[in-house]
């Protein structure tokens, strides 16, 4: 019954979806900007929970497929973007034959009723180099979003699960995916001239404030066959750094362990701030 209620809810808001996206265009523009940075144009892309299709279209895939359990959302997407493929399908009952370069789950993971089995099903549409890109709201913003709904400055949402990044990391691991990158995005998700760009481009890089960003994201890949892994391999990460003192600690924290050990090498380029001192402090 709960699943049917959820489907009915999303069918009922489908006609207003684009109106709310225009009202909050700054947020959606920034999400698109993030994903376009991660996903090269011309890739084969599967978007799970595609809604009315805007994000998938903006990614300019060589082959683009969007699935959503809301038939009303799918019908709107088909009408808007006839060059892409949209299918009424529940992410928890994924049944596709094609293997994609990228699988996008944008603001959808909290709506899944049973997350681990849904992620496990993704392996059927993955090849060894597939990347799964997940964006999700920071649970620290839950109250703010509910207030936004009450004030009618944000589209009403169906009840969802609020997960920390550690919850999602653990579920990805249980579903046999390896997280290779994660980060945070958008300290201020609404547009205020000058202020929004300043906060999101510069202030959000500071470590403590970084944890307050509105959106978290993760990039994962299928775990390689354990028999093919050479446990003696190591990895070197080279990071050029000039006037990046505020980013050094964050960069080190977000690099995953790779192979037997991971070597991190900073190449300091005569910075005018205290980048060199910060590198020495972090290590």
pLDDT digits over 30-60, tens only? 999 999 999 999 999 999 999 999 999 999 9
Per DSSP, the three-state class of 232 is coil
Residues 168-183 have a mean pLDDT of: 94
Range of the domain at 267: 235-282
* Whether 269 contacts 242, CB under 8 Å: yes
How much is the average pLDDT of 80-89?
A: 97
Q: Please state, for a pLDDT cut of 70, what percent of the chain lies above it.
A: 89
Give me the pLDDT at residue 252, please.
Answer: 84
Average pLDDT estimate for 113-136? 94
Q: What is the pLDDT of residues 234-265, one digit of tens each?
A: 888 898 988 988 888 888 888 877 777 788 99
Judge if 156 and 73 occupy the same domain: yes
Whether 258 and 145 map to the same domain: the answer is no
Residues 179 and 277 reside in one and the same domain: no
Query: Among 73, 40, 218, 252, which residue's Cα sits nearest to residue 136?
Result: 218
Residues 264 and 196 in one domain: no
Q: What is the CATH number of the domain that holds 126?
A: 3.40.50.150
Which residue, 263, 218, 271, is CA-closest to 247?
A: 271
Give the pLDDT score at 147: 64
pLDDT band at 228 (very low <50, low <70, confident <90, very high): very low
pLDDT at 231: 56
Last residue of a domain, one of 185, 208, 227: 227
Tell me the pairing of strands 126-137 and 85-88. Answer: unpaired
Residue 15, helix vs strand vs coil? helix
Are residue 195 and residue 260 in the same domain, yes or no?
no
| Per-residue pLDDT, 1 | 44
In the block, tokens 């929004």 appear at: 196
Mean pLDDT of all residues in 119-129: 94
Last residue of a domain, which of 188, 206, 227? 227
Of residues 241, 249, 250, the one with CA closest to residue 276: 241
Q: In a 3-state reduction of DSSP, which class is residue 105?
A: strand
Count of domains forming the chain: 2
Does 87 share its domain with 117? Answer: yes
Are residues 253 and 178 part of one domain?
no
Q: What number of H helices and E strands is found in the chain?
A: 11, 9
116 and 252 together in one domain = no
Domain closes at, from 210, 227, 244: 227
Task: Compute the radius of gyration of the chain from its Cα atoms.
Answer: 20
Q: Are residues 244 and 205 in the same domain?
A: no
Distance separating alpha carbons of residues 222 and 129, to the nearest angstrom: 8
- Mark whether 192 and 156 lie in a shared domain: yes
Give the C-alpha distances (Å, rounded to integers) separating 193 from 198, 200, 204: 9, 12, 17
- From CA 178, how far away is CA 279, in angstroms rounded? 28
- Burial status of residue 282 (CB atoms within 10 A of its CB: 0-12, 13-18, 19 or more): middle
Please identify which residue in the block is written with the tokens 């446990």: 231
Same-domain status, 158 and 203: yes
**What would the mean pLDDT of 60-84 be, rounded to a whole number?**
97
- Regarding whether 108 and 80 lie in a shared domain, the answer is yes
């Amino acid at each position: 019954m709960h699943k049917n209620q959820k489907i009915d809810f999303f069918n009922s808001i489908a006609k207003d979806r684009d109106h709310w996206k225009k009202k909050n265009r700054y947020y959606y523009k920034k999400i698109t900007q993030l994903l376009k940075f991660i996903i090269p144009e011309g890739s084969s892309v599967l978007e799970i929970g595609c809604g009315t299709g805007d994000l998938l279209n903006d990614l300019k895939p060589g082959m683009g497929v969007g699935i959503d359990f809301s038939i009303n959302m799918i019908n709107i997407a088909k009408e808007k973007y006839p060059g892409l493929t949209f299918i009424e399908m529940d992410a928890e009952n994924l049944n596709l034959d094609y293997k994609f370069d990228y699988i996008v789950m944008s603001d959808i993971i909290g709506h899944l009723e049973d997350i681990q089995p849904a992620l496990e099903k993704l392996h059927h549409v993955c090849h060894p180099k597939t990347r799964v890109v997940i964006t999700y709201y920071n649970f620290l913003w839950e109250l703010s979003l509910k207030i936004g709904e009450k004030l009618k400055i944000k589209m009403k949402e169906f009840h969802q699960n609020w997960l920390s990044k550690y919850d999602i990391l653990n579920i990805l691991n249980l579903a046999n995916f390896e997280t290779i990158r994660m980060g945070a995005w958008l300290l201020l998700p609404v547009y205020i001239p000058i202020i929004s760009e300043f906060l999101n481009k510069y202030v959000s890089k500071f470590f403590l404030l970084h944890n307050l960003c509105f959106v978290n994201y993760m990039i994962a890949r299928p775990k390689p066959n354990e028999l093919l892994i050479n446990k003696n391999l190591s990895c070197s990460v080279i990071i050029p750094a000039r006037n990046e003192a505020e980013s050094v600690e964050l960069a080190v924290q977000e690099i995953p362990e790779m192979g037997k050990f991971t070597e991190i090498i900073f190449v300091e380029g005569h910075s005018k701030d205290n980048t060199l001192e910060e590198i020495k402090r972090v290590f």
